[in-house]
Amino acid sequence: MRMITVVAVAVALSSGPLVAQEKPKPVPTDSARVSVPGCTKGFIFTAGPRTQDEPGSLAVPDGMHLRMNGPRKMMAEIKAHEGSMIEITGLMKKGQYVPAGIPLGGGVRIAPGSPSGASGAPGNAGANQIMIDVEAWRTIVGNCPTR
């Protein structure tokens, strides 16, 4: 009887961490969770090419720039890996990653320009910036292109 009690307590204690695992946050209905490989420079993430073993998700085209939002600690970790290929996972609003304009082929698109302000000053460049709320990141194989 005593042995059964000891075994039952051991099983209960060993299964405790399985229950305490953190579940991912639910995705809002107007957003999508995406994983995108690429490179960073500051808070800007540039989507890189997909490979067969690292396909990423959704239709985020190669070369698209995303503005990253996230906790300071995570952003500092990502900044420490600037120049290395990473994959970020996060939430993006649905429809904001659809490129505007008419595709000509070879990654070239013709799109309308942004209107200038009433005073002739240039428009707000951040107004059309595509945002991603970074939830996680990891390093992947590859190098970022240097200019």
CB of 90 within 8 A of CB of 132? Answer: yes
Total domains present in the chain:
1
Within a domain: 38: yes
Give percent of the chain above pLDDT 70.
Answer: 59
Cβ(113)–Cβ(49) under 8 Å?
no
Residue 120 domain-assigned (yes or no) = no
What is the CB-side half-sphere exposure of residue 125 using CA atoms within 13 A? 3
Residue numbers of the domain that contains 70: 26-98+128-142
| Residue 93 belongs to a domain | yes
Q: What angle do CA 94, 97, 103 make, to 5 degrees?
A: 130
Nearest to 143 by CA among 79, 94, 84, 55: 84
Question: For 34-82, what is each residue's pLDDT tens digit?
Answer: 889 999 998 999 988 876 665 555 567 788 899 999 999 999 999 999 9
Residue 92: inside a domain:
yes
Cα 117 from chain centre: 32
